């Protein structure tokens, strides 16, 4: 099952390529719960050598041990990386210093050439629902939102001066996820990055129960008091019964409840994309 957005992505690519010469650095947002599944594999080709700071959003919802492992992985791959929570503001203050550090050589060269000290120009890229608008609002809030009048490439694009150190394009670039395989599709659907027309609640829910059996049985049991050794039909029956729901399609309904609970952080901190935890 391969679903993809080639048309959307081709258009997005053109727009990003047009704007890219104006920016010093790309802030690539990826969901900390699915750092790999929420990346677009075309990004490297699109942005070429432009420095990339990967911001793992919603880190408050992710498993912190795995977030650390993912941070190490991205660092080792040569990217800047920060885990952020744009709602509480966690690590938001580190974004500018991290970007400045990554651009040290470029800015030193400019200074050596006698150029004036200027703000870093950045653009935000990421798949739908990854937290682009929340981050922009968060950054802007920290200082009165002075919307610059200098146009970007298109009339619609404007720079927002966050502070003397950072200017941000006001509209983020949308990257489209790639449904590379069934697991990626499941993870995108579970986090709500995309609505899947192909996967049903039952497909996703059955996958999710097996995932809980393998990785987060304690969290599942503490939320639902249901034994994961039981067959799915009994687990789902228990979940709906506990909620006083009587309906024929209880199997589907139970999965809807579990997925909704997950998306609203009622089960706990869960990372879907797994990575080797090393010391
Ligand atoms: N817990 C948590 N929720 C977040 C965080 N960042 C964003 N969200 C939530 O994620 C949802 C999507 O955030 P948006 O900022 O609208 O995402 P977006 O990337 O702009 O989405 P599109 O405009 O649809 O592409 C919202 O419900 C936010 O409140 C975060 O760091 N932590
Ligand atoms: Mg948005």
Which domains are assigned to the chain? 6-174 (3.40.50.300), 200-263 (no CATH)
**pLDDT-derived band at 8, boundaries 50, 70, 90:** confident
- Euclidean distance between CA atoms 185 and 236, whole angstroms: 23
Which pLDDT belongs to residue 3?
Answer: 53
**pLDDT-derived band at 243, boundaries 50, 70, 90:** very high
DSSP secondary structure string for all residues of 195-213 = --SSS-HHHHHHHHHHHHH
Hey, which of 134, 137, 168 would you mutate to test ligand 1's pocket, going by the most ligand atoms within 8 Å of its Cβ?
Answer: 134
Among the ranges given (82-86, 92-96, 150-154, 188-192), the one the predictor scored with the smallest mean pLDDT: 150-154
- Strand boundaries in the chain, DSSP class E: 25-31, 52-57, 80-83, 120-126, 146-151, 158-163, 166-169, 173-174
How many angstroms is it from 88 CA to the middle of ligand 2?
18
Which pLDDT belongs to residue 154?
Answer: 43
Hey, which of 59, 89, 133, 139 would you mutate to test ligand 1's pocket, going by the most ligand atoms within 8 Å of its Cβ?
Answer: 133
| CB-defined site of ligand 1, < 6 Å | 57-58, 60-61, 85-87, 126, 128-134, 174
Residue nearest to atom 14 of ligand 1 (CA): 131
Q: Is it the case that residue 220 has pLDDT exceeding 90?
A: yes
How many angstroms is it from 164 CA to the middle of ligand 2?
24
3-state SS string for 96-109: HHHHHHHCHHHHHH
Q: How many CB atoms lie within 10 A of CB 78?
A: 8
Residue nearest to atom 9 of ligand 1 (CA): 131
* 170, 160 contact by CB (below 8 A): yes
Which pLDDT belongs to residue 150?
Answer: 47
Q: How many CB atoms lie within 10 A of CB 14?
A: 11
Question: How far apart, in Å, are the Cα atoms of 63 and each of 169, 196, 216, 272?
Answer: 31, 24, 10, 9
- Per the prediction, the chain carries an average pLDDT of 90
Q: Is it the case that residue 2 has pLDDT exceeding 60?
A: no
- Euclidean distance between CA atoms 184 and 177, whole angstroms: 9
Nearest ligand atom owner, CA of 128: 1
Strands 166-169 and 158-163: antiparallel
Q: Does residue 124 or residue 179 have the better pLDDT?
A: 124
Among the ranges given (3-17, 42-56, 116-130), the one the predictor scored with the smallest mean pLDDT: 3-17
**148 phi/psi in degrees, rounded to 5:** -65, 150
**pLDDT-derived band at 40, boundaries 50, 70, 90:** very high
* 63, 271 contact by CB (below 8 A): yes
Contacts within 8 Å (CB) and 24+ apart, 69-74: 69/275, 69/276, 69/277, 69/278, 70/32, 70/35, 70/271, 70/273, 70/275, 72/278, 73/275, 74/35
Ligand 1 atom having least distance to the Cα of 126: 19
Which pLDDT belongs to residue 277?
Answer: 84
* pLDDT, mean of residues 260-277: 96
**pLDDT-derived band at 1, boundaries 50, 70, 90:** very low
pLDDT digits (tens, 9 = 90+) for 126-136: 998 999 999 99
- Euclidean distance between CA atoms 151 and 80, whole angstroms: 28
pLDDT digits (tens, 9 = 90+) for 140-158: 875 444 444 444 444 467 8
Nearest ligand atom owner, CA of 85: 1
Percent of all residues in the chain with a pLDDT value above 90, rounded to a whole number: 72
**pLDDT-derived band at 167, boundaries 50, 70, 90:** very high
- Euclidean distance between CA atoms 199 and 211, whole angstroms: 16
Nearest ligand atom owner, CA of 28: 1
Among the ranges given (58-62, 142-146, 176-180), the one the predictor scored with the smallest mean pLDDT: 142-146
How many angstroms is it from 193 CA to the middle of ligand 2?
12
- Euclidean distance between CA atoms 254 and 147, whole angstroms: 46
Which pLDDT belongs to residue 145?
Answer: 42
Which pLDDT belongs to residue 279?
Answer: 59
* pLDDT, mean of residues 190-202: 85
**CA dihedral (135, 139, 140, 142) positive or negative:** positive
Q: Does residue 180 or residue 6 have the better pLDDT?
A: 180
- Total residue length of the chain: 279
* pLDDT, mean of residues 84-102: 97
């Amino acid at each position: 099952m391969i679903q993809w957005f080639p048309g959307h992505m081709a258009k997005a690519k053109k727009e990003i390529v047009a704007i890219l010469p104006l920016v010093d650095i790309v802030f690539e947002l990826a969901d900390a719960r699915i750092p790999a599944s929420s990346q677009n594999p075309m990004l490297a080709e699109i942005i070429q050598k432009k420095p990339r700071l990967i911001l793992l959003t919603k880190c408050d919802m992710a498993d912190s041990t795995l977030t650390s492992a993912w941070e190490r992985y991205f660092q080792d791959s040569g990217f800047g990386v920060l885990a952020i929570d744009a709602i509480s503001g966690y690590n938001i203050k580190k974004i500018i210093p991290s970007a400045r550090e990554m651009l040290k050589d470029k800015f030193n060269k400019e200074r050596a050439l006698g150029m004036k000290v200027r703000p870093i120009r950045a653009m935000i890229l990421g798949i739908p629902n990854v937290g682009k608008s929340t981050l922009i609002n968060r950054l802007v809030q920290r200082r009165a939102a002075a919307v610059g009048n200098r146009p970007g490439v298109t009339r619609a694009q404007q720079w927002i001066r966050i502070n003397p150190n950072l200017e941000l394009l006001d509209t983020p670039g949308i990257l489209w996820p790639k449904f590379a395989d069934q697991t990626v599709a499941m993870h995108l659907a579970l986090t709500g990055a995309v609505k899947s027309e192909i996967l049903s609640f039952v497909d996703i829910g059955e996958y999710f129960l097996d995932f809980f059996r393998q990785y987060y049985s304690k969290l599942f049991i503490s939320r639902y008091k249901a034994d994961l050794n039981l067959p799915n039909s009994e687990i789902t029956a228990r979940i709906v019964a506990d909620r006083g729901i009587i309906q024929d399609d209880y199997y589907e309904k139970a999965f809807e409840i579990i997925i909704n609970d997950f998306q609203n952080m009622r089960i706990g901190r869960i990372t879907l994309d797994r990575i080797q935890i090393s010391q």
